[in-house]
Amino acid sequence: MDISIEFVRKIGTAYSSACKPLCQRWRIPQTAFDILMFLVNNPQYKTARDIVEIRKIKANLVSVNVDRLVTEGYLERKAIEGDRRKLQLVCTSKAEPLTEEGRKLQQDFLERLFVNTREEDKKGFLAVMQIMEQNLDDLLKGEK
């Protein structure tokens, strides 16, 4: 099990390192960048609560960074129809160049992870990951 923990730690560290120049260039904290990319890459999640629950970022850190993103014009808060207490977070057109650059960074990072990997090995790995994700979903539901 130590190998898997180390692997996950290394991915996180390498990804943060890859994001640092982009965040510095845009003068945006990594957490704010992560929030924007989470919203863009996962349109089914729309609220600060979703970010806290899914990304496991502390609520106060989400709040501070969302406030900053709203103030700087990257996000807007909009009322959710039927629930006046909840606000959805919507990326603005100002966020588009940053999120496009972020998507390219993420794609390049993924490609770098598979350097020196045969295409059939990559496909097999991704297939196993999908199976494991389904198994995790089942475990979380209390099945099997």
- pLDDT tens digits along 82-92: 777 789 999 99
- Going from the C-alpha of 63 to that of each of 7, 26, 32, 57, 81, the distances in angstroms are 30, 20, 10, 10, 21
What would the mean pLDDT of 62-90 be, rounded to a whole number? 91
* Mean pLDDT value across residues 127-131: 95
pTM of the model: 0.86
Question: Does residue 75 contact residue 36 with C-beta atoms inside 8 Å?
Answer: yes
Return the pLDDT at 69: 97
Amino acid occupying residue 119: E
- Amino acid found at 90: V
Contact 36, 55 (CB under 8 A): no
Locate the domains of the chain by residue range: 2-113, 119-144
Q: Reduced to 3 states, what is the DSSP secondary structure of residue 46?
A: coil
Q: CB-hemisphere CA count at 13 Å for 70? A: 14
CATH topology for 2-113? Answer: Arc Repressor Mutant, subunit A (1.10.10)
Mean pLDDT of 30-51: 96
- pLDDT above 60 (res 64): yes
pLDDT confidence of 2, banded at 50, 70, 90? low
DSSP state letter for 94? G
pLDDT computed for residue 17 by the predictor: 97
